Chains A and B, each alone.
Chain A
């Protein structure tokens, strides 16, 4: 089945630094990837849709200058949290759609847990 790899799994950083998270589709090409954030005991929140070769589409309320998304190839999308602050501490998850049996199926990366001190 489709596999999505996300790295790093855990990251702890100081306030004000930038953190890059990578999302790779290992055995399929993904023109579109999705980035989510999930706070404890809350539901997944879509942050942005990453489009290969073009600008990402951000959800309302998500700052595009703070959460930089780059989708330079058909198998890699990156999310950079710039000038991270403690309130950015969260579980960040990416996903990509692959062709299943007559439908697109969403596969998730294992997530990246960010803690900003």
Chain B
């Protein structure tokens, strides 16, 4: 079983739509959770960290459900510029500071 699993998509949504991605992780001892964004032929960049209480940054909302071991990312009012691959990353710093990646979810926002 993979450490982190994501639906690879692709998700094709119209501008203005709301889209949600989920990511599950297998290690219940994981401490830190992140969403990264990767544009085509570029490196991943941190979109937001995910906190236990949930957090929001503009149109983006991230939530963590420890009981079910999943994190989610919600994008409201999708823009064309949101088209990218979204990576779920989980960190377990107590076992060698390993970072585990999902395979990424591809999002295309259509005019």
Contacts and interface: CB of A to CB of B under 8 A. Distances in A.
B17 interface: no
Given A32-B97, A43-B103, A103 B46 contact: no
A104 interface: yes
Interface residues of B, number: 24
Interface in A15-68: 32, 34, 43-44, 46, 49
Interface stretch (B36-44, B56-64, B76-84): B36-44
A107 interface: yes
B12 to A, nearest CB: 16
B89 interface: yes
Contacts of B99: 34, 95, 97, 106
A111 B97 contact: no
Closest 9 CB pairs of A and B: A103-B32, A108-B43, A43-B103, A111-B43, A43-B104, A93-B43, A108-B44, A106-B99, A110-B43
